[in-house]
Amino acid sequence: MNRPFPIQKLNIALAGNPNSGKTTVFNALTGARHHVANYPGVTVEKKEGVFRYNGIDMHLVDLPGTYSLTAYSTEELVARHFIFEERPDVVVDVLDASNIERNLYLATQLMEMQVPLVLAFNMSDVAQSRGLEFDVAQMERLLGVRIVPMVASRRKGIDELLEAIVQTAHQETHRILNIPYGQEIEEELSKIEKMLDPCAAALPAKYPMRWIALKLLEGDPEVQEWVKDASIVRQVEAGREHLRTIFRDHPDIAIAERRYGFISGACQETIKNTVQIRHDISDWVDVLLTNRYLGLPIFAALMFGVFYLTFRVGAYPMGWLEELFAWLGAAITEQWPPHTLLWLRSLVVDGIIGGVGGVLMFLPSILLLFLGIAFLEDTGYMARAAFIMDRIMHKIGLHGKSFIPMLIGFGCSVPAIMATRILENRRNRLATMLVIPLMSCGARIAIYAIFVAAFFPDYLRGPMMWLIYVIGIVLAILCIQLLRRTLLKGETIPFVMELPPYRMPTLKGLVIHMWDRGWLYLRKAGTLILMLSIVLWAAISYPRPPAEALEGLDVRQQRRATLQYSVAGRIGRAIEPAIEPLGFDWKIGTALIGASVAKEVFVLQLSIIYAMGDGAENSGILEERLREDYTSLQGFCVMLFCLITAPCIATVAATRRESGAWKWALLQYAGLTALAYLVTLAVYQAGRMIL
pLDDT of residue 282: 64
Residue 539 and residue 671 share a domain: yes
pLDDT of residue 208: 85
pLDDT of residue 496: 45
pLDDT of residue 32: 60
136 lies in some domain: yes
pLDDT category, 27, cuts 50, 70, 90?
A: confident
Q: Is residue 356 within 8 Å of 521, Cβ to Cβ?
A: no
Residue 233 and residue 155 share a domain: no
Residue 107 and residue 233 share a domain: no
Q: Is residue 608 within 8 Å of 536, Cβ to Cβ?
A: yes
Work out the average pLDDT over 395-423: 73
676 lies in some domain: yes
**pLDDT at position 4 over 50:** no
Q: Is residue 441 within 8 Å of 476, Cβ to Cβ?
A: no
Residue 92 and residue 207 share a domain: no
CATH number for position 267: 1.10.287.1770
More confident residue, 273 or 432: 432
Angle made by CA atoms 211, 217, 222, in degrees to the nearest 5: 70
More confident residue, 389 or 158: 158
**pLDDT at position 196 over 90:** no
Last residue of a domain, one of 149, 170, 191: 170
pLDDT category, 2, cuts 50, 70, 90?
A: very low
Last residue of a domain, one of 170, 195, 215: 170
Residue 375 and residue 334 share a domain: yes
List beta partners, residue 95.
121
**How far, in Å, CA of 515 to CA of 521, rounded?**
10
pLDDT of residue 617: 40
Last residue of a domain, one of 125, 143, 170: 170
Instruction: Identify the helix (H) or strand (E) that includes residue 71.
Output: none
Range of weakest confidence among 190-194, 366-370, 538-542, 566-570: 538-542
* Residues 283-309: tens digit of each pLDDT: 677 778 877 788 888 988 888 888 777
176 lies in some domain: no
Domain range for 26: 9-170
pLDDT category, 12, cuts 50, 70, 90?
A: very high
Residue 440 and residue 313 share a domain: yes
Question: What mean pLDDT is reported for the chain?
Answer: 81
Residue 451 and residue 302 share a domain: yes
3-state helix, strand, coil in the chain (%, to 5): 70, 10, 25
Q: Percentage of the chain surpassing pLDDT 90?
A: 21
Residue 543 preceded by cis peptide, ω within 30: yes
Residue 681 and residue 536 share a domain: yes
pLDDT of residue 616: 41
φ/ψ (deg, to 5) at 89:
-65, -35
**pLDDT at position 430 over 80:** yes
Residue 225 and residue 199 share a domain: yes
pLDDT category, 42, cuts 50, 70, 90?
A: low
- Reduced 3-state DSSP string for 492-550: CCCCCCCCCCCCCCCHHHHHHHHHHHHHHHHHHHHCHHHHHHHHHHHHHHCCCCCHHHH
Q: Record the pTM.
A: 0.55
* Residues 311-337: tens digit of each pLDDT: 778 778 877 887 887 788 778 878 888
| Mode of pairing for the β-strands spanning 45-53 and 34-38 | antiparallel
**pLDDT at position 95 over 90:** yes
Instruction: Specify the number of domains making up the chain.
Output: 3
pLDDT of residue 632: 93
292 lies in some domain: no
**338-346 long-range Cβ contacts below 8 angstroms, 24+ apart:** 343/541, 346/537, 346/541, 346/612
pLDDT of residue 424: 61
3 lies in some domain: no
pLDDT of residue 274: 52
Burial class, 223, CB count within 10 angstroms (exposed 0-12 / middle 13-18 / buried 19+)? buried
Range of weakest confidence among 15-19, 254-258, 358-362, 546-550: 358-362
Work out the average pLDDT over 629-638: 93
Q: Which of 177, 114, 118, 179 is nearest to 149 (CA)?
A: 118
pLDDT of residue 673: 94
Residue 644 and residue 556 share a domain: yes
* Residues 116-136: tens digit of each pLDDT: 999 999 999 888 887 888 999
CATH number for position 37: 3.40.50.300
**How far, in Å, CA of 237 to CA of 542, rounded?**
71
Q: Which of 398, 503, 464 is nearest to 632 (CA)?
A: 464
Range of weakest confidence among 202-206, 275-279, 587-591, 675-679: 275-279
Sequence-distant (≥ 6) Cβ neighbours of residue 635 within 8 angstroms: 451, 454, 455, 456, 626
177 lies in some domain: no
96 lies in some domain: yes
**How far, in Å, CA of 23 to CA of 519, rounded?**
36
Residue 200 and residue 166 share a domain: no
Write the CA distances from 223 to 57, 77, 80, 106, 236, integer angstroms.
Answer: 35, 11, 12, 18, 12
Residue 641 and residue 511 share a domain: yes
pLDDT of residue 43: 53
512 lies in some domain: yes
Sequence-distant (≥ 6) Cβ neighbours of residue 67 within 8 angstroms: 17, 18, 102, 105, 106, 495, 496
* Residues 153-193: tens digit of each pLDDT: 888 999 999 999 999 998 877 777 778 787 788 889 999 98
**How far, in Å, CA of 469 to CA of 191, rounded?**
49
| Candidate ranges 172-181, 448-457, 490-499; pick with highest mean pLDDT | 448-457
